[in-house]
């Protein structure tokens, strides 16, 4: 594993006084959420006129006490603050004339965490601008409720997470006990557009040996709960406690991929397809390959670099598939050793 550096997180102006409870909805309506999702990842695999695949990033961020750095369960309040911020900043950009809407944050399993998602981009510079903007928006919403948003893949300080409300999260807690109650990790998920499920599965089969490298480049969790873990990415060690998490065998075809997912779900262990936690998978909602192996990075520039590397891997793998080159048959047990 590569060592990780420490960098200062982005800051922003508070929206409300700390401790003030916003009254706006904590999340958009299902119709609005679906519209945002389609806008984010529904683009064509290759964007004209650049000829480049689109890429997008989802980042999980911890909400921490601004004095102690200890995670605090303020996600519902921060989501409401983000909704107020979106309403107050909606309008038109004076320079370009394009609509400006601050996107809402997303909820996660634990109330100490929120998620952001960029729109699809072909330019690394545009993606980096989005990442910085979204982190600043998340931090502004967090500051509004007396917290800060931090790009930490694990909490360096001890914390007992507070589960978010909801039937699905309740079911996960009942099924997975301490694995659920102790889980508080932040990943970085990169979506890269693919032309078809056939191309997507071909890409998954060919990028497998490179995923540990991406993990090493992104490693950002050497400390957890007040301890030096001895790992550059302890998030990975905590995450693989979930069933189905980690590297996969070769699939060979979309049919084989779907059959394996169906077989996992048929066991009744994963509650739904959202719990198919492969290191890289076909997105269930978007026309993308989703690379899920990375820690959230301290510096957004590293995230943009990670996304570009993921796109390069996807493009190279797709070209090898079109040329008839076989996927490298690296045993999954060996890939687990690399993590």
How many Cβ atoms from other residues are within 10 Å of residue 50's Cβ? Answer: 10
Asked if 206 and 321 touch (Cβ cutoff 8 Å), the reply is: yes
The span from the CA of 163 to the CA of 183, in Å, is 10
pTM above 0.85, yes or no: no
DSSP element (H, E) containing 293:
strand 288-295
Cα atoms in the Cβ-side hemisphere of radius 13 Å centred on 129: 8
The predicted-structure confidence for 68-102, as pLDDT tens digits, reads as follows: 999 999 999 999 999 988 877 655 544 545 554 45
Question: Residue 53's domain spans which residues?
Answer: 30-338
CA distances from 292 to 87, 88, 233, 281 (A): 31, 33, 14, 8
Q: Work out how many domains the chain is built from and give that number.
A: 1
CA distances from 164 to 107, 169, 269 (A): 8, 7, 21
The predicted-structure confidence for 194-235, as pLDDT tens digits, reads as follows: 999 999 999 999 999 999 999 999 999 999 999 999 999 999
Q: Is 3 inside a domain boundary?
A: no
Give the CATH number, domain containing residue 79. 3.30.590.20
Q: Is 18 inside a domain boundary?
A: no
Q: Is 152 inside a domain boundary?
A: yes
Q: Is 36 inside a domain boundary?
A: yes
The predicted-structure confidence for 27-72, as pLDDT tens digits, reads as follows: 333 333 333 444 444 445 666 567 899 999 999 999 999 999 999 9
Query: Where residue 327 falls among pLDDT bands split at 50, 70, 90?
Result: very high
- Residue found by looking up tokens 């990415």 in the block: 233
Q: Per the structure block, which two tokens stand in for 293?
A: 């192996």
Of the chain, the percentage scoring pLDDT greater than 70 comes to 81
> What is the chain's mean pLDDT, rounded?
86
The span from the CA of 193 to the CA of 199, in Å, is 10
């Amino acid at each position: 594993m590569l060592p990780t550096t420490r960098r200062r997180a982005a800051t922003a102006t508070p929206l409300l006084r700390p401790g003030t409870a916003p009254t706006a909805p904590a999340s958009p309506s299902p119709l609005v959420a679906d519209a945002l999702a389609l806008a984010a990842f529904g683009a064509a695999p290759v964007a004209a006129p650049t000829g480049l695949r689109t890429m997008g990033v989802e980042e999980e961020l911890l909400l921490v006490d601004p004095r102690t750095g200890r995670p605090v369960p303020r996600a519902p309040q921060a989501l409401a603050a983000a909704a107020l911020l979106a309403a107050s900043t909606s309008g038109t950009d004076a320079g370009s004339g394009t609509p400006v809407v601050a996107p809402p944050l997303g909820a996660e399993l634990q109330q100490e965490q929120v998620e952001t998602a960029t729109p699809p981009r072909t330019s690394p510079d545009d993606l980096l601008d989005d990442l910085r903007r979204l982190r600043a928006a998340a931090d502004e919403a967090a500051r509004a409720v007396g917290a800060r948003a931090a790009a930490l893949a694990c909490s360096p300080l001890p914390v007992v997470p507070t589960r978010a409300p909801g039937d699905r999260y309740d079911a996960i807690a009942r099924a997975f006990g301490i694995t659920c109650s102790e889980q508080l990790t932040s990943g970085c998920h990169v979506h890269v557009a693919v032309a078809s499920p056939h191309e997507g599965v071909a890409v998954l089969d060919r990028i497998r040996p490179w995923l540990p490298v991406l993990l090493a480049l992104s490693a950002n969790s050497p400390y957890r709960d007040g301890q030096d873990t001895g790992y550059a990415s302890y998030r990975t060690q905590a995450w693989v406690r979930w069933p189905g998490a980690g590297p996969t065998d070769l699939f060979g075809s979309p049919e084989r991929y779907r059959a394996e997912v169906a077989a996992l779900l048929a066991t009744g262990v994963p509650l739904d397809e959202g719990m198919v936690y492969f290191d890289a998978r076909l997105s269930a909602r978007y026309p993308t390959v989703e690379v899920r192996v990375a820690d959230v990075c301290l510096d957004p520039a590293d995230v943009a670099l990670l996304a570009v590397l993921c796109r390069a891997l996807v493009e190279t793998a797709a070209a090898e598939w079109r040329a008839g080159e076989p996927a490298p048959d690296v045993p999954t047990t060996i890939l687990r050793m690399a993590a």
